[in-house]
Amino acid sequence: MTDQVLDMRLKLCPLPVIKTQQAIASMGPGEVLTVICTDPGATHDIPAWCRVHGHELVSIETTDDEFYIRVAC
Amino acid sequence: MTQERKAVALVSGGLDSMLAVRTLQNQGIHVEGINFYTGFCVEGHTQAIRKQDREKQKRNNALWVAEQLGIKLHIIDISEEYKDIVLNPKYGYGQHLNPCLDCKIDMVSRAWQWAQDHGFDFVVTGEVMGQRPKSQRKETLPLIARQSEVEDRLLRPLCAKHMPETLPEREGWVDREKLHDFHGRNRKPQFALAREFGFSEWAQPAGGCCFLTDETFAKKMQDLWQSRGERDYELDDIMLLKIGRHIRPKPHFKLIIAREEGENRYLEGYRRQFAHVRPESHGGPFALIDGRVDTQDDLELALSVIARFTQGKSAPEVTLSYCPEHGQPAQMHTVVPMAADALPQAWYR
Ligand code: SF4
């Protein structure tokens, strides 16, 4: 089982969502994707994407100007 | 038991696609949404960058709509392939740089391809005949269906009664009687239907779904092409066109000057790709230089313009650090800020 990290710093919405969607599609059940972003919009959009597609939002952590959003496949 | 029919709907985030989808859901059709990212979408972007806009709750309208409707939404990045549509539209442009008809044909054709790959039966759009000057005229709607090769598997529930019967209607998957006959620019029927469906909120402007319909943006894009001597762009160019003040003192270079903190931080992210300037003696914006500042005169001109936007604009001198290229040491320069009335309006892009 391999967890993955997606670096979306400086990328603007909806790119973090699109890349999250692609990454999750290539992962297996139980794996966790961590998306690192700087666009605060992603903290709304990625959770919305999770709800729409039935994925679990594990956590959102904020450090300085970065957000760490963890999504379970 | 009859087979459940599946439709994929183009979901932009506006009211029309919301109504089109709900109309079909009410007829027992399984609907999923598709949304194409062209790079020009009005979503997010500058809103997310400027601090004053950050306070406003920001959301992706297409995702929000999908959530309200209880459908899946597939967001697909077509920004690379979309260049060809923007640069060489077969049917030309609308009022500004918007190649709406080519864009619609491309999106419907992609949605139809997606539908076939995923076992879906037909494609749905929220188009209303006569609502938009070019892409939704009576003659263009059949053209979209034909050119995208979806033919009669394209259903527009909001104006279906004005259109020839489509395959989903003929096959009895949907009841034509329960579709709508909206047309023209009057949006009252849409609002009435929204009330009937219990929608109390939707994203507003139905004018244009992308920046290509924006006059200022189109002008900046033309300016970019002119200065580079070719019509082409990268995704980063589009992002940067939406941010900061764009001032072109000479044909061969342009300054991109942050307007506030959020833009400052965003532009700093591009410091590896561009020559850049940071005020040192006074507070003020970070700026990128796009193009070449070959001579001392060019550099002084650039710096005096940037100094004009610092807190030292009325000071006799302002010191700025200039980094010509990533990895090179910054050089300190002291200049006289350009007087406000010396900055020609024509330099603004
Ligand atoms: S406004 Fe933009 S996204 Fe909408 S149809 Fe026209 S070109 Fe396409």
In this prediction, residue A11 carries a pLDDT of: 85
Ligand 1 binding site (Cβ under 6 Å of any ligand atom): B 98-100, 103-104, 135, 208-210, 212-213
State the total domains in chain A: 1
What pLDDT, on a 0 to 100 scale, did the predictor assign at position B54?
54
Average pLDDT over residues B46-60: 58
Residue-number span of the structural domain to which A27 is assigned: 4-72
Domains present along chain B, CATH in parentheses: 6-210 (3.40.50.620), 243-347 (no CATH)
B224 - beta bridge partners? none
Using a CB–CB cutoff of 8 Å, tell me whether B73 touches chain A: yes
pLDDT beyond 90 at B205: no
Looking at residue B50, what is its pLDDT?
62
Q: Which of B91, B100, B128, B214 to mutate to test the pocket of ligand 1 (most atoms within 8 A of CB)?
A: B100
The string of pLDDT tens digits covering residues B259-288 is 998 889 889 989 889 999 999 999 999 999
Write the CATH number for A33.
3.30.110.40
Q: How confident is the model at residue B48 (pLDDT cuts 50, 70, 90)?
A: low
d(CA A50, CA A47): 5
Give the nearest ligand 1 atom to B38 CA.
3
In this prediction the pTM is 0.88
Which pLDDT belongs to residue B56?
A: 53
pLDDT at B45 over 50: no
Question: Do residue B47 and residue A48 have CB atoms under 8 angstroms apart?
Answer: no
Distance from CA of B44 to the nearest CA of A (A): 6
What would the pLDDT profile of B147-191 be if each residue is shown by its tens digit? 999 999 999 999 999 999 999 999 999 999 999 999 998 999 999
Residue A59, judged by CB atoms within 10 A of its CB (0-12, 13-18, 19+), counts as exposed
Task: Give A67 to chain B, closest Cα distance, Å.
Answer: 14
Give chain B's mean pLDDT. 91
| Predicted local confidence at residue B243, as pLDDT | 87
Mark yes or no for CB contact A12/B49 under 8 Å.
yes
Looking at the partner chain, which of B48, B67, B239 has a beta carbon nearest the beta carbon of A40? B48
pLDDT band at B58 (very low <50, low <70, confident <90, very high): low
Amino acid at B347: W
Percent of residues in chain B assigned helix, strand, coil, to nearest 5 = 40, 15, 45
Q: Out of B41, B58, B265, whose CB is closest to A44?
A: B58
* Residue percentage of chain B with pLDDT more than 70: 93
Mean pLDDT of the region B60-68: 91
Residue B309, pLDDT above cutoff 80: yes
The pLDDT of residue B93 = 93
Q: What angle do CA A41, B190, B155 make, to 5 degrees?
A: 85
Residue with tokens 């807190």: B311
ipTM of this complex prediction, to 2 decimal places: 0.90
The helix (H) or strand (E) run that includes residue B108 is helix B100-117
Mean pLDDT of each 10-residue bin along chain A, 73 residues long: 87 91 94 93 93 96 91 94
Q: B121, B173 in Cβ contact below 8 A?
A: yes
Closest chain B residue to A39, measured at CA: B48
CA distances in angstroms from B84 to B79, B87, B207, listed in the order given = 10, 5, 23
Q: What's the confidence (pLDDT) of residue B146?
A: 96
Which is higher by pLDDT, B210 or B164? B164
- B215-252 confidence digits (pLDDT tens): 888 999 999 999 888 999 998 888 888 889 999 999 99
The residue ranking higher by pLDDT, B110 or B234, is B110
Percent of chain B whose pLDDT exceeds 90: 71
**Which of the residues of A are catalytic?**
13
Q: How confident is the model at residue B51 (pLDDT cuts 50, 70, 90)?
A: low
